[in-house]
Structure 1
């Protein structure tokens, strides 16, 4: 049993422990798990809050950006006093205030700058969450997690739409390259030039965090390789099963 499993620990997580799908063993699994969140903006800041609140024992935050005033409508972990600060550092401070029992590291780094460093940052975690804002970064994540045999969860949000997909260690279900070829990276859109409704970011971040918790407690698996597409304007969710594409560079 964990040293943390005392009266205060039990009270903090009591509402999760009551769930038969979680129970004591699931909560203990969360406490001994670690994740990396790549990108600490709209998606990453909210994912971080959910996972820290849920008691995930180790969280690594990676981002090279700073907090700007245009971020605050959707990046709800930040405050006006954080303007100009490193996002990863500011988010670490907020998560530490939320849950002092977990280990949180923050690195001012942009994934893809150095392949050796990329692997160093992700080595040792159980799961990687994509909270970046472009295709090129996700292709880097696909390559690094594949080399390290790690599952990862992709998320994207722009305008009134969002997408989530979870990729297993094996990629038997198809990989990110299968649905978004690398040559499309230059044509990708993001909220910087397209705009985004803050609540759409919240929906996608919650889905990613929920997938992460489901994976980490080990009681059931998410829908590996199923692209969930959210349309906020019509409150519609579509699901597309991803299959391996012939000629994919990773096949």
Structure 2
């Protein structure tokens, strides 16, 4: 009998410790695919330096207040470009893969897409990306990355955003992308966006048209909240206690 009590006590202590570790340990994130998040597709047509087509991403429409120079087209304000050879003055050292996206520093230049994944209850979300400003971009030019969902009326609703302002201090070189992120807190069952497709948007929010933003390595992670892990731990303990009571 004493030996049985020792065995039960030992197993119970293991479960309690395991449950506490679930609660106290940092939750590991689940990577969510962002199609063409590294802007590798397609390759520029032979003989051209850029591709105006960007697979998986949708180019936002031109705002009515933007007037382009004669002969210029809105489609030219964003696209893909390959990295230059190592050793060149404009080679991007930390580019993910062989290509990145460029976006003119004009208001309204945007790229967006809705993912197959949905916002899940009990999880928070972290959108990360690399970015730099070049081409004599104006100080104070604004860039915004955001997570959104489509309302029942078919309108995009921004849930979380990070607006960056260009400065020499914040973006000191044209050879190294700076990592930034957008964080969305835990999704609740009562939230209108629970179960809705995850939307990702990149937007040049303000600028004079001088210069550009280079963007690369867009990635998304879902992280279970500690409360969710705590419930799992308590559930594990209650199952074990129930199994023991049924045996006696």
Which structure exhibits the higher relative contact order, with contacts defined as CA atoms closer than 8 Å and separated by 6 or more residues?
2
Shared fold (TM-score, shorter chain, > 0.5): no
TM-score normalised by length of structure 1: 0.27
Which structure is higher in helix share? 1
TM-score normalised by length of structure 2: 0.27
Structure with greater Cα Rg: 2
Which structure is higher in strand share? 2
